[in-house]
């Protein structure tokens, strides 16, 4: 089974710099490299019959609804463990990211256990949901239906967005779930823990399995004196959370709001938060690349001891294999509103590319294969990251220059394309957006090759095995 431990960031439309909704996640893996690619799934290619590779769960054909929508995705390159579509935007400009692996406790597991046979998981949710939904809330309804009918073998969080709303859903036990609407002026940081805290069963901004409140009461699951806090009821509060999960949220909270304060290990950091400024794409990419800079916990820094540098799990890590920001814009026509910002490999040495999602194909350099191939950006990024890791003090500045240059060039192409798109529609527009995506992919690929060359040149004199008569 593929292991994924990620970091989700959600930003409401009134909290972003341009009024768009943004949902983001780094897709992280285990010790084995998991190559990822960028696909667009046409309606004719959507599965007509479906069986999970991992759990062997068969889906009733009637649940594979007619007339599926076109959608983008970022699946595993090998397909050995199933599709694992990860994230995408469909032709109605509805976005979905799935999933964030989360924690639970023995109390709920004793009532509604995770399935030991069958059920759905991260492998399945995007493929079975995104082509069939027409709003963010429909994503909640669809996943809720699937969970109640087929169940799940793991705890997961996932997010849905349209141009107005963002909903975040967490699975609870084998068949239950809860979701809440993210306020327009708020942001969320969701690491690998159960994240939803305050919950109101009689409020339209919250949704859940119909019997969830009754289940809490019947089995005496609520430890609080008043109200409902789902993290307290269904989640964990362990040493692993204190070292693996909570510090990631704490660091980004203090980046978005320096007055946030607190301690890295705090177990009760709020789910819904507010930044001291409008949040940009660059802010989210920086957050997803972060490794506790300017603290004793930075593995690349010079402030802490060897022990401190290994105390907390960072967001930017060698196990980042794919990172996306799904943006639904409100300041452009609907035909170009959906943008899937995408980066492959460790976030410390890569750059986002803003791909239009009203497309029929994807750039060749993002069509990753399972074997090492420097013509594919995934493998090129892995190489630059592994070389950069050997001396971040030297190579980090080169990466920062590369990333700023790449983002600026992509922004320019995007601005030009947005203006040109007014002239086109239908197939002709899709051709233009395919061309723009290719241009941006080529730009970032060429910049990455240049970065690698600069790193080789800079590193030549840093090699240990050297002998120079002038030394």
The residue written with tokens 């040149």 in the block is: 457
Terminal-to-terminal C-alpha distance of the chain: 52
- Distance from C-alpha of 357 to C-alpha of 445, rounded to nearest angstrom: 19
User: Residue 20 — φ and ψ, nearest 5°?
Assistant: -90, 160
Contacts of 237 (CB under 8 A, 6+ apart): 267
User: Residue 28 — φ and ψ, nearest 5°?
Assistant: -110, 155
Kindly name the residue from 1, 3, 5, 6 that is annotated as catalytic.
Answer: 6
DSSP 304: S
Helix (H, G, I), strand (E, B) or coil at 160: strand
Do the strands 95-101 and 87-89 form a parallel or antiparallel pair, or are they unpaired? Answer: antiparallel
Q: What does the block give as tokens for 265?
A: 């290990």
DSSP 461: G
Beta bridge partners of 310: none
Please check whether residue 291 is in contact with residue 251, taking contact to mean a CB–CB distance below 8 angstroms: no
Cα-Cα-Cα-Cα dihedral of 455, 461, 464, 465, to 10°?
110
Q: What does the block give as tokens for 345?
A: 């490999």
Full DSSP string of 199-237: --TT-TTEEE-TTHHHHHHHTT---SSSS-BHHHHHS--
Please check whether residue 122 is in contact with residue 4, taking contact to mean a CB–CB distance below 8 angstroms: yes
Cα-Cα-Cα-Cα dihedral of 57, 111, 101, 196, to 10°?
130
Reduced DSSP (H G I as helix, E B as strand, rest coil) percent helix, strand, coil of the chain, to 5? 35, 20, 45
Contacts of 14 (CB under 8 A, 6+ apart): 184, 185
Q: Is 6 a catalytic residue?
A: yes
Residues identified as active-site:
6
């Amino acid at each position: 089974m593929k292991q994924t431990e990620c970091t989700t960031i959600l930003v409401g439309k009134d909290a972003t710099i341009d009024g768009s909704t943004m949902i983001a996640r780094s897709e992280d893996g285990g010790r084995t490299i998991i190559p990822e690619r960028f696909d667009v799934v046409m309606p004719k290619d959507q599965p007509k019959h479906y069986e999970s590779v991992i759990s062997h769960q068969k889906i009733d054909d009637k649940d594979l609804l007619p007339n599926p929508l076109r959608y983008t995705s970022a699946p595993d390159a090998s397909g050995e463990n199933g599709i694992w579509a990860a994230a995408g935007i469909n032709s109605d400009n509805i976005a979905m990211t799935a999933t964030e692996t989360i924690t639970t406790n023995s109390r709920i597991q004793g009532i509604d256990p995770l399935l030991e046979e069958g059920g759905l998981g991260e492998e399945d949710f995007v493929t079975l949901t995104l082509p069939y939904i027409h709003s963010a809330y429909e994503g909640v309804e669809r996943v809720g239906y699937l969970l109640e009918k087929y169940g799940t073998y793991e705890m997961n969080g996932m997010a849905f967005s349209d141009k107005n709303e963002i909903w975040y859903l967490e699975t609870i036990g084998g068949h239950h779930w809860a979701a809440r609407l993210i306020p327009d002026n708020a942001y969320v940081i969701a690491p690998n823990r159960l994240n939803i805290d305050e919950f109101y069963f009689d409020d339209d901004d919250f949704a859940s399995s119909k019997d969830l409140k009754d289940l809490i009461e019947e089995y005496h699951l609520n430890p609080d004196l008043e109200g409902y806090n789902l993290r307290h009821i269904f989640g964990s509060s362990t040493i692993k959370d204190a070292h693996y999960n909570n510090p990631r949220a704490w660091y980004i909270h203090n980046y978005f709001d320096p007055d946030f304060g607190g301690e890295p290990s705090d177990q009760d950091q709020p789910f819904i938060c507010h930044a001291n400024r409008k949040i940009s794409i660059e802010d989210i990419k920086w957050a997803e690349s972060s490794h506790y800079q300017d603290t004793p916990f930075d593995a690349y820094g010079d402030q802490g001891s060897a022990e401190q540098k290994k105390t907390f799990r960072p967001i930017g890590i060698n196990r980042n294999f794919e990172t996306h920001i799904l943006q639904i814009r409100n300041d452009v026509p609907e035909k170009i509103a959906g943008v899937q910002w995408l980066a492959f490999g460790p976030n410390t040495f890569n750059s986002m590319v803003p791909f239009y999602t009203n497309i029929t194909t994807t750039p060749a350099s993002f069509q990753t294969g399972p074997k090492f191939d420097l013509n594919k950006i995934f493998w090129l990024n892995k190489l630059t990251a592994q070389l950069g890791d050997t001396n971040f003090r030297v190579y980090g500045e080169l990466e920062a220059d590369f990333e700023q240059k790449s983002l600026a060039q992509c922004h320019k192409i995007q601005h030009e394309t947005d203006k040109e798109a007014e002239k086109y529609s239908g197939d002709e527009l899709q051709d233009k957006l395919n061309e723009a995506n290719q241009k941006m992919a080529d730009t970032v690929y060429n910049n990455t090759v240049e970065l690698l060359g600069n790193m080789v040149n800079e590193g030549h004199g840093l090699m240990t095995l050297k002998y120079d008569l002038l030394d």
